Structure 1
Amino acid sequence: MDPVFGQLLAEYPRFRTALEPAAHSRVLTVAELAAPAVIERAVVAAGELFGVTDPRHAGQLWWFSAVNALVAPSVTAMVEYGRVPDLDLGTGELFVRDPEDGCGDPGAGYWIGFTPGSFVSGSSDADPRNPQRRSGEGFTRSVAPVVESLSLVTGVKPAPLWAVVSDGVAQAAVEAGNEAFDPYLGVRTAVALVSGLGAAGPGDGVVVPQPRFLDISVTGGTVTPTDMEAVFAEEEPDGVHTVVKRASCCMIYRSPTAGKCLSCPKQKPEERERKLVSGLVP
């Protein structure tokens, strides 16, 4: 593992389970992850963990968790340290943390992770072929068979699954920017990554949604669309927390033990904004 990930884990220990295989983890290829039996087990595991009974909802819930686990450590490294891991899953080590054949607990087969094996080099963010964009392209190409298999197994159409990918990548970048006290760097990283997702093209007429962002004033509690001109001018906003205006739903509210999450797109905009503000403004 590259030393940059040791630094990442020292600062953000929460990423350890998504970045490092455990003793009982099983390493697998992307083709193995996309196998119907593996996808079916992940969907069943979602039901075991969260009580979600409809395979469409369980599959989308698993995919939302999976995308976050696969990209969040690497995207945080991009924002924090300026290193761009290659998100092509075939270039690193992909693993199931609690494989069905190695763990008898409920939920086995749900949690996955990824240790990048290489980095993307390139020129500045002004270059349309910048490294973040190329890393996003690699992620699209590598997860396309997983999305296809998940769609066939659960009956969820590909478009909402690709919306989960776009939102997951953008959200990881924006959260990293907020934590680094440089929210607009997170937004620029998100835009570059998602442009790569779209450039690689999921196919079948599916369009990867472009991310949208909102700025929350941490002192006044106002919510406004992010000023993208200021983002690309590399301005540093004062007292702003940026969030992704999501196009996708994680489906956790389908669980009998959970409600709608903070940024859920299935709630009224004013209710979502009220919840976002209440979590930030004293």
Structure 2
Amino acid sequence: MSVGGLPEPIALLPGSLLLDEDWLSGQVRDTGTFYGCAEPRLNATLWWYSASAVLLGPAVHELALLGSATSVRAADVRLAPRRAGLERVVPGPSLAPGGLAFGAHLDLAVNPMVDVLARVGGATPQSLWAITADSLATRLLASVRFGPPDALAEEIAAGSEYLRPAPRFVRVQGKPFAAPSTYVHRVSCCLLYRVPMGKCLSCPRQTPEERTERLEAHARSTVT
């Protein structure tokens, strides 16, 4: 029940559900219902495309802002699901400072989640790790306020065995005489092109020329 006109609080669930095959199977089925797709591999990929970005968001923000990330280990976090992904993640305690420590932590925390989801949905762990790399890059791009995010991305990747390919970025010249715009150079495919959503702006399933043209058009239209 709402109090004083405020929205009802979001019910948080234990992060251990991220390692629960039955719960994840339900999330994959619900994602299929949302997108109108019956292919488990596609639904698992789409779910992780959303969930991994939400999972990593608070930890990356803390790392970029304070120099130390927070734990994303299933036992340490709490979460609120939504259709086809996660609505919110409350992170765990702070980790040792630096990107290297966070990269090593990602191996320990994320790899069990990826393995379970791969079994449930029939996706490969490598494809899910590639999506993780792109989610990390997206969060770094949003969180690093001063200077390019490349250095921190490289530091995190250097501490991780599984974060391959490493997060990448691309600079695109948009408006004349303006500073280039930075975008994530996607190394994974979220498979959104398989549902009625169209291709992502930086979708790897397009020619380099087409991707550059779309990014330049977006950079020109962005108000800075």
After TM superposition, the score normalised by the length of structure 2 is 0.84
Query: Matched residue of 1:280: which SS?
Result: helix
In structure 2, the residue matched to 1:115 is: 90
In structure 2, the residue matched to 1:16 is: none
Query: Matched residue of 2:159: which SS?
Result: helix
After TM superposition, list the pairs within 5 Å mapping 1:72-87 onto structure 2: 72-79=57-64, 81-87=65-71
Q: Distance in 2 between matches of 1:41 and 1:183?
A: 41
CA contact (8 A) 1:183 1:241 kept: no
Aligned length: 214
Name the aligned partner's letter for residue 252 of structure 1: L
Residues 171 and 197 of structure 1, relative CA distance in 2, 3 Å threshold? farther
Note the residue ranges of structure 1 that are not aligned, 5 or more in a row.
1-21, 99-106, 123-130, 202-206, 222-237
In structure 1, the residue matched to 2:198 is: 259
Structure 1 residue 135: Cα displacement: 1.6
CA contact (8 A) 1:71 1:169 kept: yes
In structure 2, the residue matched to 1:194 is: 157
Q: Distance in 2 between matches of 1:146 and 1:90?
A: 8
In structure 1, the residue matched to 2:128 is: 161
In structure 1, the residue matched to 2:72 is: 88
In structure 2, the residue matched to 1:242 is: 182
Q: Which moved more, 1:208-217 or 1:112-121?
A: 112-121
Q: Distance in 2 between matches of 1:195 and 1:220?
A: 36
- Poorly superposed stretches of 4+, deviation over 3 Å: none
Q: Distance in 2 between matches of 1:143 and 1:41?
A: 20
CA contact (8 A) 1:183 1:240 kept: no
Structure 1 residue 220: Cα displacement: 3.8
Residues 111 and 69 of structure 1, relative CA distance in 2, 3 Å threshold? same
Q: Encode CA deviations 1:50-70: one digit per residue, 9 max, x unaligned.
A: 223211111001011111001
CA contact (8 A) 2:15 2:78 kept: yes
Note the residue ranges of structure 2 that are not aligned, 5 or more in a row.
1-7
Name the aligned partner's letter for residue 159 of structure 2: G
Residues 41 and 141 of structure 1, relative CA distance in 2, 3 Å threshold? same
In structure 1, the residue matched to 2:172 is: 216
In structure 2, the residue matched to 1:225 is: none
Please give the root-mean-square deviation of Cα atoms over the aligned residues, in Å: 2.4
Name the aligned partner's letter for residue 28 of structure 1: P
Query: Matched residue of 1:243: which SS?
Result: strand
CA contact (8 A) 2:13 2:80 kept: yes
After TM superposition, list the pairs within 5 Å mapping 1:138-149 onto structure 2: 138-149=105-116
CA contact (8 A) 2:14 2:75 kept: no
CA contact (8 A) 2:18 2:74 kept: no
Query: Matched residue of 1:246: which SS?
Result: coil
In structure 2, the residue matched to 1:127 is: none
Q: Is 1:135 the counterpart of 2:98 in the alignment?
A: no
Query: Matched residue of 2:187: which SS?
Result: coil
Q: Distance in 1 between matches of 2:110 and 2:87?
A: 13
Q: Distance in 1 between matches of 2:77 and 2:121?
A: 26
Residues 113 and 24 of structure 1, relative CA distance in 2, 3 Å threshold? closer
Structure 1 residue 194: Cα displacement: 2.3
Structure 1 residue 212: Cα displacement: 2.8
Structure 1 residue 259: Cα displacement: 0.3
After TM superposition, list the pairs within 5 Å mapping 1:169-208 onto structure 2: 169-177=136-144, 180=145, 182-184=146-148, 186-198=149-161, 201=162, 208=164
Q: Distance in 1 between matches of 2:181 and 2:85?
A: 31
CA contact (8 A) 1:97 1:112 kept: yes
Residues 183 and 174 of structure 1, relative CA distance in 2, 3 Å threshold? farther
Query: Matched residue of 2:219: which SS?
Result: coil
Name the aligned partner's letter for residue 242 of structure 1: T
